[in-house]
Amino acid sequence: MTLTANWSYPTAIRFGAGRISEIAEACAAAGITKPLLVTDRGLKDMAITTKTLDLLEAAGLGRAIFADVDPNPNEKNAEAGVRAFKDGGHDGVVAFGGGSGLDLGKLVAFLAGQTRPLWDFEDIGDWWTRADADAIAPIVAVPTTAGTGSEVGRASVITNSETEQKKIIFHPKFLPSVVICDPELTVGMPKFITAGTGLDAFAHCVEAFCSPHYHPMSQGIALEGMRLVKDYLPRAYADGTDLEARAHMMSAAAMGATAFQKGLGAIHALSHPIGAIYHTHHGTTNAVCMPAVLQFNKPAITDVLGQAANYLGIDGGFDGFCAFVDDLNDSMGIPKSLAGLGIENPDIDRIVAGALIDPSTGGNPVEMTAQNTRDLLLRIV
């Protein structure tokens, strides 16, 4: 099988090793003539970023970069990014990196033409209709990790630095016009990032599959996404140069983000406030939360995860699936508790309060109350 393809779902995707060479063509297809490349500080001086800037410059598209992006991007990063976009006279964004660079890049393209403040566009009801859709700049997305799937998402997760709460900013035009998925860009990821991002993709697929909402298309995508993670994340973790494994993990990441239109759940409802308050890595936090959340939801998901186990070739139904998750976490050095993430004496009440107002709560198979969410959180402290 040749792992190179052009897809049109959920947006235009150029998939395959070496396809970063098409970045100028992607910008042209999106209608961008003067892009601002938005990424995070860690990627700013890496060879993959320099190469991308070289390609843009060689094509006459300039060489502009904004990298003042925190691991959990916030409104201050957004304000600085919008200022750089306007000051440079840019007409589009190349969102480049993992979840932080992709989310902040999409947000800069969205906010640059708006007159209302950021939090007016939180994903509540129809607040997205407040935006001037015609003023949203085009976006080309280039993921350099295989986890969040933000390259095919219609939202950005942004931390309110004052309240230390993660908020979802949504608009249909957050979905990038063109995506380049080049697995060669992920080869340099260290093992702990490979693990954390890969398990983030797995969490997206698991929670989407278990969500009680009706969306059979997402259900199928989530199931196959789980299989790709099961088969290829251990290989990518063991050998970062395994391009076949890297490619399939890049697909799984996009599949997870596509599937979770069906809903997420308590894994994300907990990891969002934990990450906002304690600045932990999102995917790794998801992985820490997952075993306890699976047990929390057992009364509602025993059958559905039994079906997933059968498809994945895991013996033992629900219990076998949970054992597989435990073994996968252990094989990649995932901590079993928040203490393993460096969080001592966490503010239980504050995390629970954040979880109960997180949008992910609505997709959990078991109703989350203050008491049972507190009990759940105590299992991972």
pLDDT digits (tens, 9 = 90+) for 64-99: 999 999 999 999 999 999 999 999 999 999 999 999
Please state, as a whole number, how many other Cβ atoms lie within 10 Å of the Cβ of residue 278. 17
Checking if the pLDDT of 179 tops 80, the result is: yes
| Cα gap 266→300, rounded to integer Å | 13
Mean pLDDT along residues 233-251: 98
Checking if the pLDDT of 300 tops 80, the result is: yes
Mean pLDDT along residues 249-255: 98
Let me know if 134 is exposed, middle or buried by CB neighbors in 10 A (0-12, 13-18, 19+).
exposed
| Cα gap 107→235, rounded to integer Å | 33
| Cα gap 364→208, rounded to integer Å | 9
Predicted confidence (pLDDT) per residue in 87-143, tens digit: 999 999 999 999 999 999 999 999 999 999 999 999 999 999 999 999 999 999 999
pLDDT over 90 for what percent of the chain? Answer: 99
- Give yes or no for a contact between 95 and 43, defined as CB atoms under 8 angstroms apart: no
Mean pLDDT along residues 325-341: 97
The model's confidence at residue 208, banded by pLDDT at 50, 70 and 90, is very high
Entry field: residues in the chain: 381
pLDDT over 70 for what percent of the chain? Answer: 100
Residue 257, H or E segment: helix 243-259
What is the 8-class DSSP label of residue 36? E
Residues contacting residue 185 through CB under 8 Å, at least 6 positions apart: 20, 48, 142, 143, 144
Let me know if 5 is exposed, middle or buried by CB neighbors in 10 A (0-12, 13-18, 19+).
exposed
Checking if the pLDDT of 63 tops 90, the result is: yes
pLDDT at 181: 98
Question: Token pair for residue 314?
Answer: 């895991």
Strand pairing report for 165-170 and 178-181:
unpaired
Residue-averaged pLDDT of the chain: 97
Checking if the pLDDT of 175 tops 80, the result is: yes
Checking if the pLDDT of 321 tops 80, the result is: yes
Give which of 186, 185, 243 is closest to 51, Cα–Cα.
Answer: 185
pLDDT at 2: 87
Give which of 161, 38, 157, 49 is closest to 109, Cα–Cα.
Answer: 38
**Which pTM was predicted?**
0.95
Question: Token pair for residue 169?
Answer: 């900013």
Checking if the pLDDT of 248 tops 90, the result is: yes
Residues contacting residue 343 through CB under 8 Å, at least 6 positions apart: 274, 278, 280
pLDDT at 135: 97
pLDDT at 1: 75
Question: Token pair for residue 356?
Answer: 């109960």
